[in-house]
Chains A and B, each alone.
Chain A
Amino acid sequence: MADQPQQAEESLSVQVSPVSRGRARPRGSRREILAWYTIRVSGLMLFVLALAHFSILHFIWDPGEQTADFIASQRWNQFFWRGFDWLLLMNVLFHGFLGVRTVVLDYIHRPAWRDFTLLLLYTTGVLLFIIGTQVVLTLPSPGGVQ
């Protein structure tokens, strides 16, 4: 009888490693499940959007040729690229802020500190949303946006 648990373990066809699963999908709380899926869906989006953005602005163009004038007249003279960068920003905000929220929940345990840090985090997120959206929508392009 003593070796029964071991036998049961061996009979499993798949051995699930306790170290490799990352954060298991939460059960119960709708909010936590939503956060879990949001991190993963936005992560997949960012795999394409963020890597493409970095490649375009570091491999195709060089930071040495990027001035404010370059952004206004060449990089953001098309609705497509403004939309692309805005979509990237939206995914980064949800992904990044939910990610830092996870870190805060992991390390800050005192309720008052935790609430304060999360409030600061969400405020920063909303501010970046406003600033980023404003610049995408209002930056004038000398030749007009096509």
Chain B
Amino acid sequence: MIRIPNTLRYRPREGMVAWAFHRLSGLGIFAFVVLHVLDIYLVGGNPALYDEVLAFYASIPGRILEVVLGAALLYHALNGLRIIVIDLWPRMTVYHRALWWATWVIFIGVGVPGGLIIMRPVWLPILQQLGLA
């Protein structure tokens, strides 16, 4: 008999996962907004330090964080739109599961090309070395 760990036994439904992701992505974006207002303040206050911060944003670890930020932003935006649609048009609750999967189709369709653009400095040199670009 296969034993399933307790953490995997409870299978969350779409609405609950949507809610948990919305809250997590919202808190993450909030943290970045606080950081971002402070870093923009440096443009006038301490330009040399701002350039150092931006050099980190442009590094590989910085870019990975930007992809995470972009993913949080895109998910929060799409799921937020889904919430507004359902709030204003309660009949759409019947299709809430379809709407939830639609947000993921758009998320992948927009997010994957976006992530690839941000990570260009990682894969472009490899393609160039292989003579493919």
Nearest Cβ on chain A to B61's Cβ, whole angstroms: 12
**Do B94 and A15 touch (CB < 8 A)?**
yes
Q: Is the CB of A59 within 8 A of B114?
A: yes
- CB–CB B37/A138 < 8 A: no
CB distance A19 to B90 under 8 Å? no
Q: Are B93 and A17 in contact (CB under 8 A)?
A: yes
- Quick check: B15 and A19 within 8 Å, CB to CB? yes
Number of interface residues of B (CB under 8 A): 51
Which residues of chain B have a CB within 8 Å of any CB of chain A?
13-16, 18-19, 23, 26-27, 29-30, 33-34, 37-38, 40-44, 47-48, 50-51, 54, 57-58, 62-63, 66, 69-70, 73-74, 77, 80-81, 83-84, 86-87, 90-91, 93-94, 96, 114, 117-118, 120-121
Q: List 30 A-B contacts (CB under 8 A).
A: A14-B90, A14-B94, A15-B93, A20-B15, A22-B19, A25-B87, A43-B81, A46-B77, A47-B77, A47-B81, A50-B77, A51-B74, A51-B77, A54-B70, A55-B114, A58-B117, A63-B57, A63-B58, A64-B58, A64-B121, A67-B50, A68-B48, A68-B50, A71-B50, A100-B27, A128-B37, A132-B41, A135-B40, A135-B41, A139-B44
